[in-house]
Structure 1
Amino acid sequence: MRISARTQYGLRAMCALATAPAPVHAHQIAADQHIPRRFCDSILLHLRRAGLIRSQRGPDGGYWLARPAEDITLADVIAVTEGAEPPAARFPGAAAPLTEVWERLHDYETALLGEVTLADVTSQPSCS
């Protein structure tokens, strides 16, 4: 599985928000997570439009999770940053059995990412 830079940045931003005790400004997320600022703003906009985060302008504003970290899976974030994945292509001839392998792999990835929450990731000892 290939994870785009957009998805990696989105997951990093969401982990930062999951561990923040108060709203966090975009410039702080970008700096702390080493995300280019304009890229960070774009990702945060998409995550907000998808309902995963909320925001408020002003000095006391910033971004925060729209739901508890226990209720947001990695699959939720990836769906926003990557979009819907097209169905696996059917392989012809001798390669036809590969179709089933790819479908099983996709199902496994989807199941795993749908089980792992931001809380699971951020509760690891190295995430303090």
Structure 2
Amino acid sequence: MLCHDAVVDISARTDYAVRAMLTLAAAHRDDAGPVSVEALARRQDLPRKFLEAVVADLRGAGLVLSRRGAHGGYVLALPATEVTLGDVFRAVDGPLAEVRGLRPQDTAYEGVAQHLPSLWVAVRSSLRDVLDRTTLADVLDGDLPRHVRALVEEPDAWRNR
């Protein structure tokens, strides 16, 4: 996720990773066993080659396990109730918020912008508040945490500005 020009950009890589993880969570809930990358790609209409790299990152982060064999594929490494969206974001895209490649607390400005690092830290904190407190199970069940639902229900939440 990148913050620049006042835009929070959720990358295709992150979007695909979350969708793949939700598919694996649903397969686990339905006791369907491992899911191949090809099946993940097909179920969410994602490019298979790109998804292979995303799943490799998820595996490297310890969020998915691979199962070999004729009915092999991928499974969640942890229950869906224990995997947050923040875990998935960080696994494929790194830190939740950076400013010109720096962590928010590592920025420093002089003059009129001297207090800006505090704002960047607050932006990161707000992302954490949503992403680190929302699990795959929450999204899969459509039962978002109360504070996230409150944000979604704000009058201008769905309006572009």
Identity %: 40
SS for the counterpart of 2:58 is: helix
Q: Which runs of 4+ in 1 moved over 2 A?
A: 89-92, 95-99
The structure having more radius of gyration, on CA atoms, is 2
Question: Hey, what's the Cα distance between the residues in 1 that align with 2:64 and 2:135?
Answer: 15
Q: Quick check: 102-111 or 36-45, which moved more?
A: 102-111
5+ residue gaps, structure 1: none
Displacement, 1:104?
A: 0.8
Question: Hey, what's the Cα distance between the residues in 1 that align with 2:109 and 2:26?
Answer: 44
2:50 is aligned with 1:39 = yes
5+ residue gaps, structure 2: 1-7, 144-161
Q: State the AA in 1 paired with 2:18.
A: L
Matched ranges for 1:43-122 at <5 A: 43-84=54-95, 85=98, 86-88=102-104, 89-122=107-140
Equivalence for 2:17 = 10
Q: State the AA in 1 paired with 2:138.
A: D
SS for the counterpart of 1:8 is: helix
Question: Hey, what's the Cα distance between the residues in 2 that align with 1:124 and 1:110?
Answer: 19
Q: Deviations over 1:33-71 (max 9, x none)?
A: 121111111111111121100111222111110110000
Displacement, 1:99?
A: 2.3
TM-score normalized by structure 2?
0.72
Q: State the AA in 2 paired with 1:113.
A: L
Displacement, 1:14?
A: 0.4
Q: Aligned residues, how many? A: 125
Greater relative CO, 1 or 2 (CA 8 Å, sep 6+): 1
Query: Which is helix-richer, 1 or 2?
Result: 1
Cα RMSD, aligned residues only: 1.5
